[in-house]
Amino acid sequence: MAEETLFSKIIRREIPADILYQDELVTAFRDISPQAPTHILVVPNILIPTVNDTVAGHEAALGRMITVAAKVAKQEGIAEDGYRLIMNCNQHGGQEVYHIHLHLVGGRALGPMLAK
């Protein structure tokens, strides 16, 4: 069984967060350490530690993460100019919180994807 995370407490509204969207499958909230003018996290409401832990039964939540990201990007006024969606997996992928999450970042030109 995966350990509960900070994100689980945000989903249950046990700790404060700037929640922009929530339904039965996913929650979207502003990152507390933004890396761009707009930096929002979209997380499944069930705890899935990494992408490696996903199964077919998670597909509805995973798909909802993408559609919610697009909806929030439009609400935030960054959809037309563009944005980046990032999902990290495990240590080498840069994952820090072991509850999968989609980073929605934008609000300025983001430059190359990876440094050389």
- Rounded distance between C-alpha atoms, residue 9 and residue 13, angstroms: 6
Tokens read off for 60: 């509805």
- Domain contains 85: yes
pLDDT of res. 49: 97
Q: What string of pLDDT tens digits covers the 116 residues of the chain? A: 567 899 999 999 999 999 999 999 999 999 999 999 999 999 999 999 999 999 999 999 999 999 999 999 999 999 999 999 999 999 999 999 999 999 999 999 998 887 66
- Is residue 86 included in any domain, yes or no? yes
- What CATH number did the domain enclosing 84 receive? 3.30.428.10
Helical spans, DSSP H, in 1-116:
6-11, 59-75, 90-93
> Coil, helix or strand for 63?
helix
DSSP run (H or E) holding 22 = strand 19-22
What are the structure tokens assigned to 106, written together? 């934008």
Residue 56 belongs to a domain: yes
Are 53 and 47 in contact, with CB atoms under 8 Å apart? no
> Per the structure, how many domains does the chain have?
1
Options 92, 99, 101, 103, the catalytic residue: 101
pTM for this structure?
A: 0.94
Q: So what's the pLDDT on residue 104? A: 98
At 2 the pLDDT is: 65
Q: What is the pLDDT of residue 65?
A: 98
Would you say residue 75 lies in a domain? yes
Q: Is 58 a catalytic residue?
A: no
CA torsion, points 49, 53, 55, 61, in degrees to nearest 10?
A: 20
Q: Kindly state whether residue 67 falls inside one of the protein's structural domains.
A: yes
Whole-number pLDDT of residue 116: 64
